[in-house]
Each structure stands twice: as structure tokens, then as C-alpha cells.
Structure 1
Amino acid sequence: MATSAVARETILSLRRTIAKIEGVLPERLETPAAAPMVAGVILRESGLAVKSKLSSTLRTGAEHLDAALGGGLPDAALTEIHGPDPRDAGAAAGFALGMAGLARRRHAERPVLWIGAGEAFSEAGFPYAPGLLAFCGLSPGDLLVCDIRKLADALWIAEEAARLSELSAVFLEVRGNPRILDLTATRRLHRRAQIAGRPVFLLRQSAGAEPTAAPFRLLVSAAPATPRSTVAGPLPGSIGQAAYAVTLDKSRSALAGQFVLEWNPHELAFQERRPEDPGSMVPASQRRARPASASGTVLAFRPSEIQAAARLQPSREQHPAHRRPRRTG
């Protein structure tokens, strides 16, 4: 009897130690199957418990992506958004602005802070304020932009802003893999996001994967846009809604997946593009291959007509300047 009591006390002590290290409630380690699970965390600052938050998710609107994320991106955590190549900086920023609009709607339309560190804004440009309202519902006064040259100063601003519940979300945009943005720095951002109950997004340009405290990492690049939809059908030669190729590179559930999303500025949500949709990046199945349309009338030009058409073409000197090749030297 005494031996079983000592063993039980040892197990309870181990559970309390594990819960203290992981920052979760000890009751979560021994909740009966019939009892409802409460997703709570204990947050500590200087070794003292400060407050408890219920975990919630920020849904993107894409059903399959939200399912792979476990209901959506965490609403009180650090999330990484990567643009793998330099040319993907605009697509990653557009996807992040969509998440900023979703976060603002969720948190009583409070302002969003966007911090650009080092050469982030020099390479990708500033967020275009006049177009934000039509794109993601952010007026120029709802987006606070901070351009900081030193990464250490930008990181300090992000850490201080991440603990403020008066903001809807905090975005930190950096370029590459700076040494100062290590596991310890991202752990501080993640912990302060949990304390404030607000999302913090780490937007990285041309960065490789490295260990961070972010539970999720998304790789975002541009996807081909579909033609604009009209009452009469797709409008040929037009450009429809912004499209993104999103890869779930890191997640707590160890689930990986690739998704093609379109941002709907009217619904302020992402929509998943199906493989059978026009303009999809996924090729059609061979069983459902569409036969090629019948060829029309073929016209043959006589040599004299070809020479006459060649004389009507402008010379090299008459071409517009923007048609000439750029100098690389």
C-alpha cells in the first residue's frame, strides 16, 4: 500500500515537472477520456505564472488548409511565412496582408503593426497604402509601418509590440537568415504572443529553414491567376484574383501538404482552388484529358506577300526604348 502511494506521488511529481517545462496545465496530462479537454496554457514570466489563455485558431477560409493546420493558424503564437526565392517576396507579403485583414476582423478592428528590418523594404517595397482597403479591408490608418535599419532594434520593437493586446497582429519582415534571429529570439516572440493573445508573423525573404519556436512554417510563392469571372463566363486575356502556392513545411501534427489558394477581397477570405479549376497548377488526369480542338482553315502566304509584310515592319531604331534589351553591365 505504501509502495503504491510512493509510486503515485513520484508520477505526480514527474507530471508537474513536465508541465512546468512545457508550460501547460498539469491536469491536461491526466484528463479522463469522458471529461472535456480544455486547451489552456500557463504562461510564466520571471518564473511566475502571469495569466492563462485559451488556445484559439485564426481560420484562413480554405477548408483543407485549415484542416491540415488543426483548425487554422494559432491566434496567440508565432507563425513563419517564407518566400523561398527573392521573386516570391511580393507573394509572401500579399498572403501576409490577407492574414492581417483576418486578424483585424477577429480582434475588434485594432491596428496592425508591420516592421521592416534591414533591407526588407528596400528589396520588396513598402505596403501600398491606397490599395490595402480594396485588397484586405485595411485603411491607411489601420496599418502602422515601421522601417528600421538595424535588425536588433527591429527585434526589440517586435518583442515589445508582441505583448500589446491593443494590436490585432504584429508582422516582422526580415531578409535572409540573420544570426541574431535565433531560437532564443523566436522563443521570446512566441511567448509574448501567447501572453497577449495576439498573432505574431515572421515574414522572411529568401531564407532557409532553420530551428525556430514557431509551431507552423508556410512557404508561399506566386501561382498562376485564372481569368476574371463574369456573368458570361471567364473573360479571356484578363487577370483574376491573386493566387498563392502555399506549402505547409512545418506543423505540430507533422502533416505536410501543398495548396493553391486565391484571395477573395469581397469575402476577405482565402479560397482553395480545385485541380479541375482553370489555371490550376495541378495537371488534369490522363483519363480525363480533353481532346484537342479541330484545326481551322490554314492559309498559305506567297513569298511576295511575306516580303511585303517584312518591309512594313519597323526597323531596329524605330522600336520603342522599352522593347530593347537591358544592359547588364
Structure 2
Amino acid sequence: MLSLRAKQTGKSILWLRTLAASRKGGRFNPAGFAELGGDPSALFIVVAPDEATLLRSAVDALRCDDFGAVVIECWGSPAILDLTASRRLTLAADRSGATAIMLRLGAREQPSTASTRWAVRSAFSRPLEANAPGHPTMDLTLLRRRSGPSGKSWRVEWSRDNQCFQEHQQSTFRQKPKTLSGSVVPFFGVGQAAARERSKLIA
């Protein structure tokens, strides 16, 4: 969802995964990606044998002009993902204007140069009319923000039609959700014009 928000016109999304993340996290579902509003034909998935290959590939990808967003997925807290590696990713993203999203599953907190760090958990969705399944819903907690306060939490749902996160409403489906503004959750409002003005690493 974040990669769809960060996607730039005419550019693709690259999803880099380690073999361990692929085995433990499951295979990517193109149909599910399309249901979120994504275009599977504009998404490239690469599986790296280990974390060292993953990080080298991520830096090379972020330096490439063809990708608007690069998702970097690993499992756990590999020692190789230190401040030096994090800094390389940040610099590469800053220079190209691409958005780097570090997805760390089953990980503990560790230092990084990311502009923001989030904890994401699934939540119950709000049923739609006729008790149809609701939009994907999650609880977000801003653990760290380099340029401002942190510690806030939000419950949001994903709007496929608007390609954005919306404030989750506990009331009936007839109440229209509010779109979160960029002033509330900084990354969600990232536009192409501002892409080169912000740090592009999120972990």
C-alpha cells in the first residue's frame, strides 16, 4: 500500500525479498495486489539468497531511474543491516528520488537512518453494506520520526479507489471515512514533486 502511494508515473515498483522471508512470509499474490489497486504488470519481484545480496541489490535498484518505489523485505534482525548499510540505502534513495521501504518481519528494534519507523498490525475491518467484507484495516504506531515527535497511533483503512489511507470509523458503513492528511501521517501524503526533498527510507 505504501509502495502504491509512492509510485511515480511511468515508473515501476521493485520488491526485493530474501529467500527466508519468502519461505516464512509466503508467496506474493498478484490477484491480491490487484485488489488493492495495484498493477501486477508494473511490479517486479526478486528473491535474494541472503541479506548481503539483498542489500547490494537494493542499493543498485535505488540508483536506477526506472523504479519509483523499492520494497526491501527481510526476516529477523540480520547483523549486516547496521547503520552503515542503512545509510547507503538512504543516500541512494535521496539521490534518485525513489522511495525505499524496509519491511522487517519478526524483527527487533535496531538503529537506522530511516526518516520514520513504524509498527504495523492488522485490525478488524468495518463491514460494508449487506455485511460485505470491509476495506483492509490496520493499526499503525509511529515508533520514531527523525524530524518530529513520535509515539502516536492510528487505525486506518485502505481505499482502493482513492489509493490512500483513511481514518477508520467505528460507526456504520454510511459514514464516509476521512482521508488522512499529510500533516497527520507524513509519508501518506508524499507526492512526486516532494519526492526528492525527503528521506526515502522507512523501516
Rounded Cα–Cα distance in structure 2 between residues aligned with 1:128 and 1:134 = 10
Match of 1:103 in 2: 6
Rounded Cα–Cα distance in structure 1 between residues aligned with 2:124 and 2:87 = 36
Q: Which has the higher contact order (CA 8 A, sep 6+)?
A: 2
Match of 1:262 in 2: 157
For residues 294-309 of structure 1, the aligned pairs below 5 Å read: none
AA in 1 matched with 2:13: V
For residues 1-16 of structure 1, the aligned pairs below 5 Å read: none
Cα RMSD for the two superposed structures: 1.6
Q: Is the Cα–Cα contact under 8 Å of residues 123 and 138 in structure 2 kept in the other structure?
A: yes
Paired residues, what number? 172
Cα offset, 1:278, TM superposition? 5.7
User: As a proportion of its length, which structure holds more helix?
Assistant: 1
Give % identity: 27
TM-score, scaled to structure 1: 0.50
1:242 corresponds to which of 107, 127, 136: 136
Match of 1:212 in 2: 112
Match of 2:56 in 1: 156
Report runs of 4+ in structure 1 exceeding 2 Å deviation: 276-279
Cα offset, 1:270, TM superposition? 0.6
Q: Is the Cα–Cα contact under 8 Å of residues 3 and 101 in structure 2 kept in the other structure?
A: no
Match of 2:33 in 1: 132
Extract unaligned runs of 5+ from structure 1. 1-97, 280-329
Extract unaligned runs of 5+ from structure 2. 174-203
Three-state SS of the structure 2 residue aligned to 1:244 is strand
Match of 1:81 in 2: none
Q: Is the Cα–Cα contact under 8 Å of residues 118 and 175 in structure 1 kept in the other structure?
A: no
Three-state SS of the structure 1 residue aligned to 2:59 is helix
AA in 1 matched with 2:4: G
Three-state SS of the structure 1 residue aligned to 2:9 is coil
Cα offset, 1:139, TM superposition? 2.0
Match of 1:31 in 2: none
Q: Is the Cα–Cα contact under 8 Å of residues 58 and 70 in structure 2 kept in the other structure?
A: yes
Match of 2:41 in 1: 141
Cα offset, 1:263, TM superposition? 0.3
User: Does the alignment pair 1:112 with 2:13?
Assistant: yes
Three-state SS of the structure 2 residue aligned to 1:119 is helix
Rounded Cα–Cα distance in structure 2 between residues aligned with 1:179 and 1:196 = 26
AA in 1 matched with 2:57: I
Match of 2:188 in 1: none
Larger Cα Rg: Structure 1 or Structure 2? 1
Rounded Cα–Cα distance in structure 1 between residues aligned with 2:23 and 2:58 = 19
Rounded Cα–Cα distance in structure 2 between residues aligned with 1:151 and 1:201 = 15
Rounded Cα–Cα distance in structure 2 between residues aligned with 1:203 and 1:129 = 18
Cα offset, 1:167, TM superposition? 0.6
Q: Is the Cα–Cα contact under 8 Å of residues 11 and 68 in structure 2 kept in the other structure?
A: yes
